[in-house]
Amino acid sequence: MTPGWIVPVAAVVVLLVIVALVATRKRGARATPTSLYIEALDSLLAGDESRALDLLKETVRMDSGNVAAYIKLGTLLRERGEVGRATRIHREVSIRPRIDSAACELALSELALDYTAQGNSDKAVATLEELRRRNRKHVFAYEAAAQLMEERGEWDRAYEFRKELQKVVGDNGEALAAFQAFVGRERALEGDAKGAREHFKEAFRRDKHSLPAYLFAGDLKYQQGKLEDAIDHWRNVIRHHVEHARWVYGRLKKAYFDAGQYGKMVDIYEEVLSRRPGDVPTLLAMADFHRKKGDLEEAERSVSRILEDDPEDRLAGIYLGLIQAEQGDTDRAVSALADFVEKERRSRELLVCSRCEHETDELLWRCPRCGGWRTFLQDES
């Protein structure tokens, strides 16, 4: 006969065994390669690279088929300076049989970066070439190859890659024009005027109103003493890119001065202001112009126009004081300068919350807007 206590005790034992089994299985489940990999990605996101590195190593040790983990591991190693190991890993992954094409392209991209980090641009270029063979539309493959060529000063080869890239991404000719304008400028600096002109021509062929080509082609003409041509190019900047007009003011001033037509600068400024009323750089340039000519009243008018739009403009404020002092109007000059000092002082006493950018002129420990603590103390030591 079975004693009465046997049944409950047996039931408890069975229950304990089940709990233990479930717990074991659960512990086992925590350590699958997939969960390790996810943990590694989380660590990467959290910025804990050394933990991510350990987890990735463990992941690939348990599952050598996790190609994404291998590639990430290599990249992390490269970023930590272990370029040789990174290279071996990425190369090994890229030549795996039956690897899917996206993973292979990723491995090749990383391998190209490994070689670049080693300073081995030949191998980097060859790797990118293989990448392009696999995928004719691989943007990185063109971009990175162009950059490598540019670093080597091989502008023609770089341009070929840039042209291919433009076909892939399908943008307008602006980027290619800027490239050609840049190379033209390099040629001009080397004293190769003919080569420079060809590049500028190509720039205008890609973008008929290329801003950099107008600037640099004008510079070349100016260098060669062809003032009128230089002025034409630079005035085209104003015609077609009025928002960048100020980049040609210095250039036009020199050229008109050499040509004995310095007075034409007023027409230029007027033209810009008619299209961009209140343009601050233009009004400042206009003030300079009148002040140099000794027309202080006109200079004051230009500066005052800036202050009408923005009474807080500090450069205009102090400029006004200078002009009034030069006019001998001490009272107004003193008041303009005192005003400037006061504004400058107030702006320096302003503290800005590092969390919400709330401004205050008191030292606070808690931000009244966002509730952040000690957010105004970032500059105090």
Least distance in angstroms from the C-beta of 355 to Zn ion: 4
Both structure tokens of 185: 């400028």
Least distance in angstroms from the C-beta of 324 to Zn ion: 40
Both structure tokens of 101: 């094409």
Residue 356 vs 377, nearer CB to Zn ion:
356
Residue 257 vs 365, nearer CB to Zn ion:
365
Least distance in angstroms from the C-beta of 47 to Zn ion: 24
Residue 331 vs 380, nearer CB to Zn ion:
380
DSSP code for 242: G
Least distance in angstroms from the C-beta of 349 to Zn ion: 18
Taking the chain, what is the end-to-end CA distance rounded to the nearest angstrom?
84
| Site of interaction with Zn ion (CB under 5 A) | 353, 355-356, 358, 367, 369-370, 372
Strands 359-360, 351-352: parallel, antiparallel or unpaired by DSSP?
Answer: antiparallel
Nearest one of 60, 30, 54, 29 to 40, comparing CA atoms: 54
Cβ neighbours of residue 11 closer than 8 Å, sequence gap 6 or more: none
Least distance in angstroms from the C-beta of 374 to Zn ion: 11
Least distance in angstroms from the C-beta of 344 to Zn ion: 24
Residue 133 vs 374, nearer CB to Zn ion:
374
Helix (H, G, I), strand (E, B) or coil at 152: coil
Least distance in angstroms from the C-beta of 169 to Zn ion: 41
Least distance in angstroms from the C-beta of 365 to Zn ion: 12
Nearest one of 291, 279, 362, 376 to 327, comparing CA atoms: 291
Contacts 24+ apart (CB under 8 A), 32-39: 32/62, 33/59, 33/62, 33/63, 33/66, 33/69, 34/63, 36/62, 37/66, 37/68, 37/69
Return the ∠ at Cα 182 (arms to 177 and 186), rounded to 5°: 145
Q: What one-letter code names the amino acid at 271?
A: E
Residue 259 vs 370, nearer CB to Zn ion:
370
Residue 80 vs 366, nearer CB to Zn ion:
366
Residue 49 vs 359, nearer CB to Zn ion:
359
**Contact criterion met (CB below 8 Å) for 213 and 203:** yes
Q: Dihedral of the CA atoms 181, 186, 191, 192 (nearest 10)?
A: -60
Residue 20 vs 370, nearer CB to Zn ion:
370
